[in-house]
Amino acid sequence: MFVTRESRTDESQSNNGGHTVGPDMEHSSTSNPIVPSHEMSAENVVQKLHSELNQLLQQRAEVMRHIATAKKTIVGLASLFGENVLSPELQTLVGVGEGNRKPGLTKACRLILIEARSPLSARNVVDALQNQDSEILAGHKDPIASVTTILNRLADYKEVERVVLTNGKRGWRWAEETDSLSQVD
């Protein structure tokens, strides 16, 4: 509940049980700041914050897609021209080069899908992971379940897309941005 000193005294005197937000409530977001009126209810503030949270989550998903597209482009260029065109910092950022630490499972799944030419099943991703680094799945009782969980989470983040494979099973592919270049000024 957001209340100011004045609204606390007004509320206790009126004893109507209404929750109000005072005019000096601060809101730190840079987008759509909530400017409450003196009599704005807590429910209205929660609704507005809920709406803002949904917008921010959508923006985060879009930013993640932009980042993923940039990384995929950089990895592709490094494949064409050699990793020596990338600075050590950039190699670390995109996860290529010899100097990188062993990637985590989520990062490894991302890289497998980025480099894949077609959609992959969870089994295909597990096989590719084991071919790259047999140790990465060593601590997982059910590697396919672990990878499926990660792939579904990446799909929720809009980094990958869920697809139906030709055999009718679930698959995933890296989410491509169709108009990313047209949006860059």
Prediction pTM value: 0.48
Q: Quickly state the pLDDT bin for 173 (edges 50, 70, 90).
A: very high
- Per-residue pLDDT reduced to its tens digit, 69-117: 888 888 888 878 888 888 888 887 887 765 444 558 998 999 899 899 8
Q: Which fold has domain 58-95+102-183?
A: Arc Repressor Mutant, subunit A (1.10.10)
Domain locations in the chain as residue ranges: 58-95+102-183
Q: CA-CA distance, 21 to 45, in Å (whole number)?
A: 8
Q: How far apart are the first and last CA of the chain?
A: 43
Rounded mean pLDDT of 52-81? 86
pLDDT of residue 180: 39
- Tokens representing 158? 């809009």
- Per residue in 127-159, pLDDT (tens digit) is 999 998 888 888 889 999 999 999 999 998 888
Could you identify the residue written with the tokens 């990637």?
103
Cα 20 to Cα 37: distance, rounded to the nearest angstrom: 9
Cα–Cα distances in angstroms (integers) from residue 124 to residues 106, 108, 141, 153, 154, in the given order: 15, 13, 17, 17, 16
